[in-house]
Every structure is written in C-alpha cells, then in structure tokens.
Amino acid sequence: MWQIGDADADWRVRDTRLDCDLHAVVHTVAGPHAVGGSGTLAADRGKGWQPLFDDGPATEGRQLRAIDVTDDGGRLWIAGADGSMACYDVRAGRRYDYGYPAELADSWGGVAVAGPRGREKVLAADRDGRVLPFVVDGTTPEWGSPDRVAAGGGTVAALASTPEGVGFAVDTEGTAYKTSPETGWDDIGVVDADAAVGDLYAGPGEQVYVAASDGHLYRYGSSYHSWTPIEVGDAGLRAVDVYATDARERMTALGADGRTFERVAANRWEAVPARVDARLTDLALGPVDVIVSGNGIVVERDHTAAEKEPPAEPIPVTDRTTPRVGRE
C-alpha cells in the first residue's frame, strides 16, 4: 500500500557549508551524498552537510552533474564536464579518478550503477547521445564499446539501471531504450514526444517511471513496451524516487514549482511545499528524504522521529552566491 509516511514529517531547510549549485543526490551507507559545481562532492555523514572535496576528479574543478551508488551503498560513481569521472569509496573516504575514452564527447550527463562495490556494472552517458558500458574489478574498469543510443542527433536525457543490471535510457526526443544482451540497446517506445524528460527511476523487476515536464509520470509496461501516463500535478516534474521497506512503499515526484507530489493512493497525489525559495534539482528518498537545489541549499524530511520546532522559513536565493563553475 502506498503511504505518504509520518504525518508529522515536514520539509525543513538544513544549514550547509556549501556555496555551489547541487545537481544530484543519492543515499549511501554513510549518509546522503550530492554532487555539484566546481567539482564538489558534499555529504552529511552525521555532523551536518559539508564538502568532502571541491576540486573534482583529477583536481580540475570541473562541474559534476551525475552520481549513482552501488547496491551495497559503499561506493559512488560521479561524472560531469570535460570527461570528469571518478569513484569514491564512502567508508574509506578515498577517490579514484579515471580518464574517459578519447572517442567519446567531453562531458558526461548521466551515470547508472548496478551491483556491489568492486563488482559493479556501470553505464555512463555522454553529451553526444552515446552510452559507455563498463564493469569493475576492484577499482579497475574494463571499458566496453560505446553505443549510440539517442536517435536523430538527440542526447540522453535520463539514464538509470535496475538492481538486476538492466539499463534504461530516454533521449531528448522522448524515445526510451532498454539494454539487451543481443543488440546492446532496444527501442521500447516513445514516452511522450511533446514533453521534456526530467528524470528516470528504475527499480526491482523493471519497475520504471519517467518524470516529465507536462506534470505526468510515465510507467513502463514491459509486456507491450508501452508507457502509461499518470497525472501527478499541474507543475513540470524534475525528479522521481521510490523508497520501499518491508512495511510500506513511498513514492515522491519533485515539481519544478517548489512542491513535492506524494503518492497517497493508487490514483491520488498530494502536493507538499518544499519550503524553500530555490530551484530544486534532485530528490532521494530514505529514512530521511533529501532534496538538493541551487546555491548549495539542502531540504530534508526526517521520518525517523517527529520534529517539534516550527517549519523553517524559505531562504531567498539572492542571499547566497554561486561560484563560477567549469565549462560543459
């Protein structure tokens, strides 16, 4: 049964030591981690949000836009501008930098990971519509051959992998693709040619959802390679996530207007203000839900305990400054 979670859980702005835009966030065994401008990897490892490093892979300070985590939560893969790519072991606090194959475009727009640390499978999408597959032995990647996934000169707008290692991608024309052992990638239909894709969630058993700019989620039906629209709200959607425990399953979409949309029944969604005046960019659900945004702002909702203080006031984005970031 779908549930919104604790009735008294509310979004609250967190104090951070960050002064860069944050683009993507995931949960790990050591707390939530996010990537952003100037090569920043930031985390809350129990003592508040702070940067782990701000110089990026190869200490070049290039903007990081993509992050994903191994199934055991122990290793991150991060990627971004000018071929920046690295993995980061969250327990050891150690980063491993990698050079990208020369035939690919010079910026990564997405990364997807499946499997445990040291034996993971990774997909990385460049800005030219190609996806590079590779497998990892320890910390050594075995690069595969890149596939041009996006058709007609488009690019990969969203990339994700199921825990079983099945990759999904959607291009900027709205066409979706799925990895295939025989052909590399198969076309699995058009999600919506008229809506821009914001995010892609791929869960167990090929439970796949696409968040789109028309206020709909699109659910994948594997039997007929079909996409079913689900009306969520009156705002464009930038991200979607699902969090499941033995007791319940929660689903939330992130709106472009500063609201989240919580699934409270099979066909009913509830809009909840995120209580921050900033451009929201990504969402990760867990015991503590996390939203990241521009200007280093982080918003959280704690389901582990009721919070007693009143809701935080919105932080005007004009009170924060954004540093110059690396070119893309």
Q: pLDDT: is 83 or 5 the higher one?
A: 83
pLDDT tops 80 at residue 318: no
> The dihedral of CA 47, 50, 53, 57: what is its sign?
positive
List, for residues 270-312, the tens digit of each pLDDT value: 999 998 888 999 999 999 999 999 999 999 999 986 444 444 4
Mean pLDDT, residues 86-115 taken together: 89
For 277, counting Cβ atoms within 10 Å of its Cβ (0-12 exposed, 13-18 middle, 19+ buried), the class is: middle
pLDDT tops 80 at residue 18: yes
pLDDT tops 80 at residue 138: yes
Q: Parallel, antiparallel, or unpaired for β 31-36 and 22-28?
A: antiparallel
List, for residues 20-57, the tens digit of each pLDDT value: 999 999 999 999 999 999 999 999 999 999 999 999 88
pLDDT at 101: 64
Q: Parallel, antiparallel, or unpaired for β 167-171 and 156-161?
A: antiparallel
Neighbouring C-beta atoms of residue 45, cutoff 10 Å: 15
Q: Answer yes or no: are the C-beta atoms of 77 and 64 closer than 8 Å.
A: no
Chain center to CA of 141: 22
Q: CA-CA-CA-CA torsion for 112, 115, 119, 124, nearest 10 degrees?
A: -10
Alpha-carbon distance of 230 to 68, in angstroms, equals: 26
Average pLDDT, the chain: 88
pLDDT tops 70 at residue 194: yes
List, for residues 210-221, the tens digit of each pLDDT value: 999 999 999 999
For the chain, what are the domain ranges? 12-319
Q: Answer yes or no: are the C-beta atoms of 173 and 154 closer than 8 Å.
A: yes
Query: Confidence band (pLDDT; 50, 70, 90) for 152?
Result: confident
Q: Is the pTM higher than 0.75?
A: yes
pLDDT at 319: 35
Q: Answer yes or no: are the C-beta atoms of 302 and 296 closer than 8 Å.
A: no
Q: In what order do the strands lie in the sheet with 167-171?
A: 156-161, 167-171, 175-180, 184-190
Alpha-carbon distance of 207 to 224, in angstroms, equals: 14
pLDDT at 315: 38
pLDDT at 314: 43
Task: Give the H or E element holding residue 168.
Answer: strand 167-171
What is the second-level CATH architecture of the domain 12-319?
7 Propeller (2.130)
